[in-house]
Chain A
Amino acid sequence: DIQMTQSPSSLSASVGDRVTITCRASQGISNYLAWYQQKPGKVPKLLIYAASTLQSGVPSRFSGSGSGTDFTLTISSLQPEDVATYYCQKYNSAPLTFGQGTRLEIK
């Protein structure tokens, strides 16, 4: 099975910072990758699908890139409401594995 590895596991940044989270697949998955945001005590929310397509209603400061095995989620200017755990997920075929998550905090 393909493994999904996110880095870093946790991250602390200042408001206004550019933040990048990486997700690596153990084998190529083309662009079959989604990113989700889960705020504390809340249900996960879709941010990006097909590696780089922004879900409707998601702020444009979020962006995704990558293909094959290496993917990134970028927040161009960190806002206080972005405090959350971020997960990548591959969906090309079962198992639809999630990364272990990246916890993002405000410094």
Chain B
Amino acid sequence: EVQLVESGGGLVQPGRSLRLSCAASGFTFDDYAMHWVRQAPGKGLEWVSGISWNSGSIGYADSVKGRFTISRDNAKNSLYLQMNSLRAEDTALYYCAKAYTHLSSSWYNYWGQGTLVTVSS
């Protein structure tokens, strides 16, 4: 059974940093691209970032470019999102999503339950 378990969310002050993790199991992690998608309270889905199977292809939304860094450790079956210079508008539920293929340009067939990030003073 595919499982994606996000962690690392919490309350953080504007301008500070946070690192999210996504622990994957139930599939061969290094065969698939992975993504982060967020959803602000009461709002729609927003793609944040994606990374291909071998980290060779990485993309970011304009809203987070230069502040967020996606990475993965295939040996640990884990996906990460380093979030720096956080802003109030980054407050959201952050989902980890598994792509259907090894390429970052793919739909998602599995999602985690999400981890909540709240940016507030």
Q: Does B109 contact A (CB under 8 A)?
A: yes
Name the residue in B35, B37, B104, B107 with the highest tally of chain A Cβ atoms < 10 Å from its Cβ.
B107
Interface size class of A (residues with CB under 8 A): 20 to 34
For residue A43, which residues in chain B have a CB less than 8 angstroms away from its CB?
Answer: 95, 111-114
Please tell me if A66 contacts chain B, counting CB pairs below 8 Å.
no
**Are B62 and A96 in touch, CB under 8 angstroms?**
no
Question: Can you sample 26 A-B contacts with CB below 8 Å?
Answer: A34-B107, A34-B108, A38-B45, A43-B112, A44-B45, A44-B108, A44-B111, A45-B111, A49-B107, A55-B109, A85-B44, A89-B45, A89-B47, A89-B107, A91-B106, A92-B105, A94-B59, A95-B61, A96-B47, A96-B105, A97-B47, A98-B37, A98-B44, A98-B45, A98-B46, A98-B47
Q: For the complex, is B60 an interface residue (Cβ under 8 Å from A)? A: yes
Q: How far does the Cβ of B101 sit from chain A's closest Cβ, in whole Å?
A: 10
Number of residues on chain B facing chain A (CB within 8 A): 23
On whether the beta carbons of B107 and A91 are closer than 8 Å, the reply is yes
Contact A46 B50 (CB under 8 A): no
Q: Which residues of B contact A (CB under 8 A)?
A: 35, 37, 44-47, 50, 59-62, 95, 100, 104-109, 111-114
Interface residues of A (CB under 8 A from B): 1, 32, 34, 36, 38, 43-46, 49, 55, 85, 87, 89, 91-101
Q: Please, how many angstroms separate the alpha-carbon atoms of A99 and B107 in the complex?
A: 14
Asked if residues B105 and A87 are in contact (CB atoms below 8 Å), the reply is: no
A94, B104: Cβ atoms closer than 8 Å: yes
Most buried by A among B95, B104, B105: B105
